[in-house]
Chains A and B, each alone.
Chain A
Amino acid sequence: MNQLQNFTKGFIKENPVFILLLGLCPTLGVTTSAINGLGMGLATAFVLTMSNLVISIIKNVIPDKVRIPSFIVIIASFVTIVELVMQGFLPTLFEQLGLFIPLIVVNCIVLGRAEAFASKNTILSSIIDGLGMGLGFAFALTVLGSIREILGSGAIFGWKFIEGDGMLVFVLAPGAFIVLGYLIAVVNKMNKA
């Protein structure tokens, strides 16, 4: 597999949200608007890329038995960095994402890539894999957030183009499940065709 394929596989073919169904908690929880989805996606992409990088560098040093705890500590360190940086520079976004920032640690997609890819591959392809998967995740969250924002409040990225209130249910919890359900059905159809 060449590096370009390695990079693009995260977007549609092996998209973490639509195909692998990993990391669904933040996917559903923070996508009340497109900007929240994008912010969360980029934060996760950063953690994913950096932890993939570090893990592929030290993969030969870590004893096999304690590899999962070591991976978790590495991931948790980067999550703490993101948490502090976001709190300092993007306080409003930090407030809105709230609990889901520390929860990037237990996002299965990060640990999943560490275990399935970074611990077996070279540094360069691990970085590219992390970047591709992370951006694929951000892409999925932005799409979901945009759809919910358009249907729920008639706006996109905060720019209102439909007058009136919109269908509030799509901003609330049930809308998240329903929109994601239909999106997955559409992606499945596209992948088969």
Chain B
Amino acid sequence: MEYILIIIGAIFVNNIVLSQFLGICPFLGVSKKISTAAGMSGAVLFVMTLATIVTWLIQNYILDPFNIGFLQTITFILVIASLVQMVEIILKKISPALFQALGIFLPLITTNCAVLGVAILTIQKDFNLLEGVVFAISHAIGFGLALIIFSGIREHLDLMEVPKGMRGVPIALVTAGILALAFMGFSNLV
């Protein structure tokens, strides 16, 4: 039951993009086509889960026992940056097809604040490892859901008559606002 609450809470109620404002850069940057949006979501799912596992282990077995919690920010960002590099190298060797598919999105993920954000949130909420993994996966799914819905809307938006001053980013932001309004309907679910 607890896990179901975590999953629904992370995907719908506290959607990482639309109600917590993490990962806005890729949300606006790669949402012009559904196919790239799906690729990005896959890459985020992969890295976010891995990063949460590794940072959880570091926090609980290195930072906490030695009482150096103030190094959290520096450690986590370095871990995530090197993790992304490592994933890139391993993927290139093991599964060139997947590497081709995720290719350009992987380096972009280092600066995706959603990954660091979820890693820190997992620590702040005092989850155990399994809960942390579920939390990370459902947040990544929530990210993918928002990104894919939004890119679907944007593909249609290209064909619409939009007032001159609102073309491009402004109309995209207003659309995202309306999407966030729709997601607020879930707000009392959990």
| Chain A residues in the interface with B (C-beta under 8 A) | 21-22, 24-26, 28-29, 68-69, 72-73, 76-77, 79-80, 83-84, 99, 102-103, 105-108, 111, 169, 172-178, 180-182, 184-186, 188-189
Contacts and interface: CB of A to CB of B under 8 A. Distances in A.
A70 B73 CA distance: 14
A11 B22 CA distance: 25
A69 B85 CA distance: 11
A173 B74 contact: no
A69 B77 CA distance: 9
A97 B154 CA distance: 31
Contacts, number: 114
A77 B174 contact: no
Q: How many B residues are at the interface, by size bracket?
A: 35 or more
B40 to A, nearest CB: 16
Nearest to B74: A76
29 contacts: A21-B28, A21-B169, A24-B24, A24-B28, A25-B21, A25-B23, A25-B24, A25-B25, A28-B21, A28-B24, A69-B81, A80-B73, A80-B74, A83-B73, A105-B116, A106-B77, A106-B113, A169-B181, A172-B184, A173-B18, A173-B180, A173-B183, A174-B177, A175-B177, A178-B173, A178-B174, A181-B174, A181-B177, A184-B169
A177 B116 contact: no
A21 to B, nearest CB: 6
Interface in B151-176: 165-166, 169-174, 176
Contact of A69 (B20, B73, B78, B172): B78
Contacts of A73: 74, 78
Interface string B69-81: 0111110111001
A72 B20 CA distance: 24
Given A105-B116, A182-B170, A188-B170, A176 B21 contact: yes
